[in-house]
Amino acid sequence: MNESMKKFFEVGLVAFMAYPSLLKGTCENTESIIKKIATDDYFDAIEVNWIKDHQQRTDVADLLKSSHMTVCYGAQPRLLTTGLNPNAINEDERAKAERTLIDAIDEAYELGSKGIAFLSGKWDVETKDEAYQQLLKTTLKLCEYAKTKNMFIELEVFDYDIAKKALIGPAALAARFAADVRTQYNNFGLLIDLSHIPMTYESNEYVVRTLKPFLTHFHIGNTVIKDPAAEGYGDEHQRFGFPGSANDVNQVLDFLRVLKNEGFFNEQKPYVLSFEVKPWKDEDSELVIANAKRVLNRAWALL
């Protein structure tokens, strides 16, 4: 495509995936990592997560204010590293998850983000309907609180039976859930990730078309899904070109074509399109990020 991708998207990076040391919110090098990303003008957006130390968080907030980047906040690590479940059947456990997500909204506000993204928790067949109602309860509370700060809530769609085994879940269920939330709050949307689409046994076109009224944010990444015995099987967000993986230039190209055809190339208000890629074992973060840039550049050139 002849026109710059920056005309239609804010290209971003999920910092805590590209640099896994950030995941638990206690990395001593958080500020220098964020600065490294913020000084790379390939990126218009950055996705950060919890930073437990108040002074460190303040310093990062000041850095981001100077960067002219769109700041997004991923609350997924607050759940995945602690085992908290926003759709837990046990009300006390659900409330704990809600509390950390409320805290995430406050922290995101400090860092200059307009909202947070999170994911649903694990579920059991016998209690799926009840878990759905528990997730709805949590999400409505988050939307209510976020609205007082003029902020937004996004739910990321994950696999439901492979790795995260999240309640939301296949596209049809995600659409139903988003519609239920939107009947009460308009500050809610869905985040989809190219790396999760093969894990829900769906196509790019089906997912985007099914979720079209609710989509507010996009990730692109990779996964190993064909062979359960393969190295890295599951939701590991390996670099593009990883052995036995599902996504590369052609799949990114197809994803972009679907987004274009469905009207998501928005010049006036570009969507965030972020890399969610992670070094495998001792791979270098910088090389994995450079790999992702090359793949997106090639896919865009072919569009």
What is the 3-class SS of 25-61, one letter each residue? CCCCCHHHHHHHHHCCCCCCEEEECCCCCHHHHHHHH
Rounded to an integer, the average pLDDT of 10-28 is: 97
- How many other CB atoms are there within 10 angstroms of residue 197's CB atom? 25
Are 179 and 214 within 8 A, CB to CB? yes
* DSSP 8-state secondary structure symbol assigned to residue 183: T
- How many other CB atoms are there within 10 angstroms of residue 270's CB atom? 19
pLDDT per residue over 165-174, tens digit each? 999 989 999 9
Phi, psi angles (nearest 5°) of residue 77: -60, -30
In angstroms, the CA 17 to CA 25 distance is 12
Residue ranges per structural domain of the chain: 5-302
Rounded to an integer, the average pLDDT of 151-172 is: 95
Rounded to an integer, the average pLDDT of 182-199 is: 97
Are 221 and 277 within 8 A, CB to CB? yes
First to last CA, the chain: 5
Of 239, 233, 229, nearest to 277 by C-alpha is 239
In angstroms, the CA 81 to CA 139 distance is 20
Within 13 Å of residue 15, how many CA atoms lie on the same side as its CB?
32
Element (H, E) at 246: none
Q: Is 54 exposed, middle or buried (0-12, 13-18, 19+ CB in 10 A)?
A: exposed
Task: Show the CA angle centred on residue 297, arms to residues 34 and 66, nearest 5°.
Answer: 25
pLDDT per residue over 64-90, tens digit each? 999 999 999 999 999 999 999 999 999
- For residue 1, is pLDDT > 90? no
CA separation, residue 171 to residues 156, 164, 199, 260 (Å) = 11, 16, 11, 19
Rounded to an integer, the average pLDDT of 109-115 is: 97
- For residue 54, is pLDDT > 90? yes
Output the average pLDDT for the chain. 97
Rounded to an integer, the average pLDDT of 49-75 is: 97
> Can you read off the two tokens belonging to residue 229?
């015995």
Q: What percent of the chain has pLDDT over 70?
A: 100
* DSSP 8-state secondary structure symbol assigned to residue 275: E
> Can you read off the two tokens belonging to residue 58?
């303040």
Query: What pLDDT shows up at residue 177?
Result: 98
Domain 5-302, classified CATH 3.30.750.24, yes or no: no
- For residue 135, is pLDDT > 90? yes
- Which of helix, strand or coil describes residue 253? helix
Phi, psi angles (nearest 5°) of residue 19: -125, 85
The strand pair at 115-119 and 9-14 is best described as unpaired
The strand pair at 188-193 and 152-156 is best described as parallel
- How many other CB atoms are there within 10 angstroms of residue 91's CB atom? 10
